[in-house]
Amino acid sequence: MFHFSIRQIFLTLITLQILSLITSPGSEAWASEHEALCKTAGEWLIPSKAGGLKATHSTVFEEINNVDFVLLGEQHDQAQHHRWQTQMLSALLSHRDQIAIGLEMLPKSSQSTLDAWVNGQLSVKDFLANTGWYETWRFDVELYMPILNFARENRVPLYALNVPREVISKISSSGWDADMTELTKPADASQGYRSLLKEVFQYHEGSDEKQLEFFIQAQLTWDRAFAEGLKAARDETSRLIVGIIGSGHLTYGFGVKRQLNAIGQYNVFTWIPTNIGSSCKSLDLINDDGDFIADAVFLTSGSSVSNKKHKLGLFLIDGKTGVVVGDVLDNSIAKQSGFQTNDMIIEAAGQPVADSGDLIAIIQNQTPGYWLPIKIKRNDEIKEILAKIPAQK
């Protein structure tokens, strides 16, 4: 049986968090009483004991001169979240003059490539090749180009925050002692964070207490790595450091902010985006323990996932022997083409597939409207599946 990877489990964190909030005590009242607050994009909400209050841009920024770190959340595949992040970077640069940006998307081994990018020494093609973007991150780089270009055009330093995937994999399977990296041991998770991570883990993996503990340790390792990377950037530059990090690491101060506070005494602001409508209405701006979801929440327009990226609808797992299909989305190209869970992908468009990054890169290079031949192994039998890349509308 093939299990989901730590990254795939984590990608459900925000989804399950929101789903649980929909049924939490008081969320129904929040949705009905404050529905009007969630209708208009471009507005700020400030969490309060009473729920949420609308705020102006100047109100949100009035304390910015006293801040050490600003953490900007995102849902990775939402283009409007990345446009908002770029707008915030521009506003922060105008307020503080000197800023630097920390990126969750790349491991620290990519730092020299980020330096070369900011200095104008690399093309986009070289940047992708040198970072191994689609092997490392897998989300469409076009989503992040506004941020990358902003840094390049303004010579704003970029810092890689992540750790290699194999480190997280080792810790998630064998615990913290499996890989004593240069990171110090993270601060313990709060009870609220443990409860949320337990729910995510049980959704995918069951109730094994030992493996649950390893899963939590892996999540804390990410949080600690991001926190230490942000601190290192501040120590090196003395600038305002802005973290570009998934909201699951930021909400309620459970993740990165808690680890930063364990490292030192810092003034940390957390701002997260949410789409207008149901995404906003389902949020609990304050949890049962009295923690605010963020210092401020920005309302973005409806879903705007990158339209240029071809998607088959597969969840991929990089196994020891190759790339395995972990799940097939309903009503997807993959489902219609005949993919099944546990299929091993061997070849695509006549090219060998060693890992999921290979397959993603091949898919993105396909001409819209054409058929993509993919060779798979299913129950020791080699088959070829034809998947049609949709024509652009």
For residue 151, pLDDT over 80 is answered with: yes
The pLDDT tens digits of the residues spanning 63-86 come to 999 999 999 999 988 899 999 999
One-letter identity of residue 167:
V
For residue 114, pLDDT over 90 is answered with: yes
314, 282 in Cβ contact below 8 A? no
Two tokens at 21? 């909030």
Neighbours of 73 (CB within 10 A): 27
Looking at the chain, how many residues does it have?
A: 393
The pLDDT tens digits of the residues spanning 14-60 come to 444 443 343 344 445 544 556 778 889 999 999 988 777 889 999 99
What are the backbone angles phi and psi of residue 138, rounded to the nearest 5°?
85, -20
Beta-carbon contacts of residue 248 (< 8 Å; ≥ 6 apart): 10, 13, 14, 17, 255
Two tokens at 352? 């060998």
Q: What is the DSSP string of 208-247?
A: -HHHHHHHHHHHHHHHHHHHHHHHHHHHHH-SEEEEE--G
What pLDDT does residue 141 have? Answer: 87
In which band, very low, low, confident or very high, does the pLDDT at 315 lie, cut at 50, 70 and 90?
confident
Percent of the chain with pLDDT strictly greater than 90: 51
The pLDDT tens digits of the residues spanning 158-172 come to 999 999 888 888 888
The pLDDT tens digits of the residues spanning 276-285 come to 987 888 788 8
What pLDDT does residue 170 have? Answer: 84
238-277 core/surface letters (b: 16 or more CB in 10 A; e: else):
ebbbbbbbbbbbbbbbbbbbbbbeeeeebebbbbbbbbbb
Rounded to whole angstroms, how far apart are CA atoms 265 and 257? 11
What pLDDT does residue 183 have? Answer: 72
CA 17 to chain centre: 14
Domains and CATH numbers, the chain: 6-300 (3.40.50.11550), 314-388 (2.30.42.10)
Query: Of the ranges 80-84, 259-263, 325-329, which one carries the lowest mean pLDDT score?
Result: 325-329
Q: Which of 13-22, 248-257, 359-368 has the highest mean pLDDT?
A: 248-257
Two tokens at 81? 């979240």
Tell me 341's DSSP state.
T
What pLDDT does residue 26 have? Answer: 45
Average pLDDT of the chain, as a whole number: 85
For residue 117, pLDDT over 60 is answered with: yes
For residue 293, pLDDT over 70 is answered with: yes
Two tokens at 333? 């190209």
For residue 8, pLDDT over 70 is answered with: no
For residue 270, pLDDT over 80 is answered with: yes
For residue 108, pLDDT over 90 is answered with: yes
For residue 4, pLDDT over 70 is answered with: no
What pLDDT does residue 122 have? Answer: 94
Report which of residues 14 and 368 the model is more confident about: 368
Rounded to whole angstroms, how far apart are CA atoms 283 and 280? 6
- DSSP SS3 for 265: coil
Average pLDDT of span 256-269: 97
Rounded to whole angstroms, how far apart are CA atoms 65 and 284? 28
